[in-house]
Amino acid sequence: MKQGTFKTKLLLFLLFFGGSFTLLSAQSQLSIARIKYNGGGDWYSSKSALKNLIRFCNQEIGTHFQANERIVDVGSEDLFQYPFAFLTGHGNIILNDQEVRNLRQYLIGGGFLHICDNYGMNDYIRREMKKVFPEADFVEVPFNHLIYKKPFSFPQGLPKVHEHEGNRPQGFGIVYKGRLVCFYDYESDLGNGWEDQEVYNDPQEIRFQALRMGANLIHYALTNPE
């Protein structure tokens, strides 16, 4: 096991089951990682999304994330410091062999990846994630899955934030040894729902629904209930 993997699991354990321990106070607060990747896609899109999600989770579900995201190259061992990684964009993404190995090790070692299709990356991300998990396919996550239940209830699955092709929103996942390691929101655009209000002027209830669903993803990633 990589040292970074162990560190991630230790931090998660301390945060949720022993947050008052002295050891946690000796560690820096947890952060959320934004994945930087090659291929020409705009990995930096939805610029205000994560800071708003972090604020919401810290206020509403008792997390203790640092206020700002951390930008991490997909092939960097720094990725193992973060329990939750976010990847978004509109276009192409290319993972080289080393990046594929690194991302796979991160995910099977306890990390969690949320992919948000900001529109136009569907074909590319499916191609690249097949390199990471050649033995698995994206499957639609059923509405009775825990990720739609806690801490907020989504009995009909993902909220619809923005229209892309007019299709219903879908949540796809990759499951490894019984654990959902990657969640992919398609035709939903959760990241846009987390953006500052003035960016899209979405109705407040839509933004709240997006943030609540984001909190469910964070909660699942940190507790790994399966």
> Is pLDDT above 80 for 20?
no
Dump pLDDT digits (tens) for 48-96.
Answer: 999 999 999 999 999 999 999 999 999 999 999 999 999 999 889 999 9
CA distance 90 to 134: 24
**pLDDT band of 11, cuts 50, 70, 90:** low
Give the start-end residues of each E strand in the chain.
Answer: 33-36, 70-73, 84-89, 112-117, 139-140, 170-176, 179-186
Residue 73: predicted pLDDT:
98
Mean pLDDT of the chain: 87
Residue 41: predicted pLDDT:
86
Residue 6: predicted pLDDT:
40
**pLDDT band of 40, cuts 50, 70, 90:** confident
Distances (CA, A) of 42 to 33, 68, 118: 16, 19, 9
| Across 92-114, average pLDDT | 97
In this structure, the dihedral spanned by the alpha carbons of residues 206, 211, 214 and 216, taken in order and rounded to 10 degrees, is: -100
Q: 211 near 194, Cβ under 8 Å?
A: yes
Compare 164 and 214 and report the one with higher pLDDT. 214
Tokens of residue 147, six digits: 């990720």
CA distance 101 to 46: 27
CA distance 113 to 33: 9
CA distance 102 to 136: 17
Identify the residue whose tokens are 């301390």: 14
Q: 170 near 188, Cβ under 8 Å?
A: yes
Domains and CATH numbers, the chain: 3-223 (3.40.50.12140)
Dump pLDDT digits (tens) for 152-193.
Answer: 999 999 998 867 677 899 999 999 999 999 999 999 989 999
Q: 65 near 32, Cβ under 8 Å?
A: yes
**pLDDT band of 137, cuts 50, 70, 90:** very high
